[in-house]
Amino acid sequence: MLRALRNQTQSIFFKCFLVLLICGFALWGVGDLTGGSKGKSVLTVENQTISIEEALNEINRARYMLPDRPSLEDAIKNGIHKSVLNKLEQDILINEEANFLDLNVPLSEQMRLIKEEKAFKDPLGKFSQNKFIQSLKNAGLSEEKYLYTINTKSNFKQLLMPIINNDYYNKKIVKKIIDWQNEVRDIEYEIFKIVNQNEIKNPSVDVLKSFYEENKKSYEIPMTRDIKYLKIIPSYFEDQIVINKKQIDEKYEIEKSNYKIEETREILQITTQNEIKAQEFIDLIKKGKNFNELAKDKFNLNESDINLGYLKKSDLPLESANIIFNAQLNETLGPIKTKFGLSIYKIITILPENQSSYDDIIKDIKEKLIKELSVEILFEKIDEIEDLIAEGNNIEEIAKSNIFNKKVSVENLNKISKQGFVYSYNEETSFLDKKPEFIKNIWNTDVNEISEIFNLNDDNYYIIEIVNQNNSETPTFNLIKNKVFDQWLKQELVFKTKEKSKKIVELKNNNLSFRSSLKRNDKSLGNIRDQYLITKIFEIENDEIEYILSEDNLIAIKVIKTKTDNYKFNKITFNDLNLSFSKSFLSDISNFYVQHLASKHKLQRNYKELENYFVNQKNN
């Protein structure tokens, strides 16, 4: 039972429930600590208040949701309470303004937001009423409280609707950014191979120790954890599936139409409101003129402007669909009257209808059935695995259980930090190639315990066992002697190469052998493909020779000239930059708007009682 309870605590909703439970116990003493402040408000507007108890609940909720669960004192030091109080201020003001303007959130919108919440979905991704009710119950949340939260978000969107879609920014500023993106640098450069390791004398222990002391801080290892994990994927259960002819036939009848590829046609289109110009265009086509050249000459349209791409018959307007799909290759049609005006078409490519062979369809259907059924088995096995976890089985025992008909391996990972870095005494520090959810589960699970089963992508599930927690440390020289040597050697190789290359360049009167013109978005210099190298070149701020390391080469570089490339104005790029700026603008204006609402609705803050509570907690 205790094991089952521990498993439940991994759920985000159960964590919320525990926070509320803990807060409930804590708040029994709030009145004594604050001098009988129960019922007093920290935030007040005309029709709403937020009590000290509510504020403390939210502060405690915020700190308990963090991976390291800081103490209240640490949370205050880190300003967590300020973020919570700012959010509470925003919520109360937004809802007060919504009431003032008589805004409401339609039931349909509430239902949409609830159905899209991942926590309320079953393993197949569909909304589950049972999960909705149970999740709220586990979190200690009422439907009323949850609806208040989503209504607040919707009210905020409604109030900021006039500026949310702001898509225009100062054109001069955007142009400067585009100019920066199109910067071109003319450079001279020389490539030098890194010297051979044989040219470097082996260092003494004293030299390495000195190097270690100089770079000691770089060897620090923060708090880490050692783990075992088991990956659970549908393919583990494919050998348990037997497919019969009835299943294949039923699937075939349902999906056979999906294996039929409709005819598509690549079409050029010109639309105009001018009947005379349209007819003149057709007449010139009949005389043998080129469609693309006429489009440019008569309507100032390039091929990219008139090419609709490959379209199915159903993609076209009813007025022209039959005509276009009955036409011959390279035939010009029109003018055809549509709701957009007079349209002229030309068919430049025809991809005929195509049907996969029966054998190929059956083969594909079998593969699909195996995948679908293996997913169903996986969901059944997940329930069995959860039972094994609840019974106290460790990860090795689960892997060897009869849940799997094949041998599945348990993987080990050591020294993983909260940021997802993998540390080692002998190897270079690397980043764990897993999604954030994986790292989150490492640090949300207690030592010597097993995480809940969690999904990372598609139908791949994982469980993690925390083997050990390692305190932060600075390894001694003897522990990381090999690592120190490797890093010393790398530095020494570069140093020796730079010494050699400088002498060669000086003998050539600082003239470098190669010239190149580089754009900021280039990926390579000559045969060296290295985006980092290009970035470093564009960071050079003088006309001196700079030396940049790239893989097995040291490259001497001198910037000769910097200019802006002659580029064609790209509306898509301009709009993308506008969108980025408008998001920043929205953030700024929304902050100003909330300040305005605080004045309008006479927001009163009473944080003194809360501060007294924090002081009393610290003294106790």
What confidence tens digit (pLDDT) does each residue in 563-617 have? 988 877 666 766 776 666 666 666 666 777 788 888 888 888 888 777 777 766 6
Quote the pLDDT of residue 129.
75
Of 112 and 579, the structure prediction assigns the larger pLDDT to 112
Residue 596, phi-psi category: left (phi > 0), alpha (psi -120 to 50), beta (remainder)? alpha
Residues 151-160: pLDDT tens digits? 888 888 788 7
Residue 127 reports pLDDT greater than 90: no
Q: Is residue 451 classed as helix, strand or coil in its secondary structure?
A: coil
Quote the pLDDT of residue 455.
86
Quote the pLDDT of residue 123.
66
Residue range 388-403: mean pLDDT, rounded: 92
CATH 3.60.40 is right for the domain spanning 224-243+361-470:
no
Confidence of residue 111 (pLDDT cuts 50, 70, 90): confident
Residue 14 reports pLDDT greater than 50: no
CA-wise closest residue to 466 among 536, 394, 524, 371: 394
Buried b / exposed e over 262-290, threshold 16 CB at 10 Å, is: eebbbbbbbbbeeeeebeebbebbeeeee
Quote the pLDDT of residue 2.
29
Alpha-carbon distance of 613 to 554, in angstroms, equals: 61
Q: 186 forms bridges with which residues in the sheet?
A: 517, 561
Quote the pLDDT of residue 124.
67
Alpha-carbon distance of 546 to 533, in angstroms, equals: 12
Quote the pLDDT of residue 192.
95
* Domain ranges across the chain: 2-162+601-619, 183-219+478-564, 224-243+361-470, 263-352
Quote the pLDDT of residue 130.
73
CA 331 vs CA 291, 296, 342: distances in Å: 11, 19, 17
Confidence of residue 360 (pLDDT cuts 50, 70, 90): confident
**Domain 224-243+361-470 matches domain 263-352 at the CATH topology level:** yes
Quote the pLDDT of residue 565.
86
> What's the mean per-residue pLDDT of the chain?
83
CA-wise closest residue to 140 among 17, 50, 13: 17
Quote the pLDDT of residue 196.
92
Confidence of residue 327 (pLDDT cuts 50, 70, 90): very high
Percent of residues, the chain, with pLDDT higher than 90: 35
Assign domain 263-352 one CATH number from 3.40.190.10, 3.40.50.980, 3.30.930.10, 3.10.50.40.
Answer: 3.10.50.40
Alpha-carbon distance of 472 to 224, in angstroms, equals: 7
Contact 609, 34 (CB under 8 A): yes
Task: Report the Cα 476 to chain-centroid distance in Å.
Answer: 38
Residue range 126-145: mean pLDDT, rounded: 72
Residue 390 reports pLDDT greater than 80: yes
Residue 28 reports pLDDT greater than 50: no
Percent of residues, the chain, with pLDDT higher than 70: 85
Quote the pLDDT of residue 500.
94
Contacts of 484 (CB under 8 A, 6+ apart): 208, 211, 212, 219, 477
Give the number of other CB atoms < 10 A from CB of residue 470: 16
Residues 54-72: pLDDT tens digits? 888 888 877 776 766 777 7
Q: Is the pTM of this model over 0.75?
A: no
Quote the pLDDT of residue 157.
79
Residue 126 reports pLDDT greater than 60: yes
Alpha-carbon distance of 364 to 387, in angstroms, equals: 35
Quote the pLDDT of residue 67.
65
Quote the pLDDT of residue 168.
54
Confidence of residue 144 (pLDDT cuts 50, 70, 90): confident
Alpha-carbon distance of 564 to 191, in angstroms, equals: 26
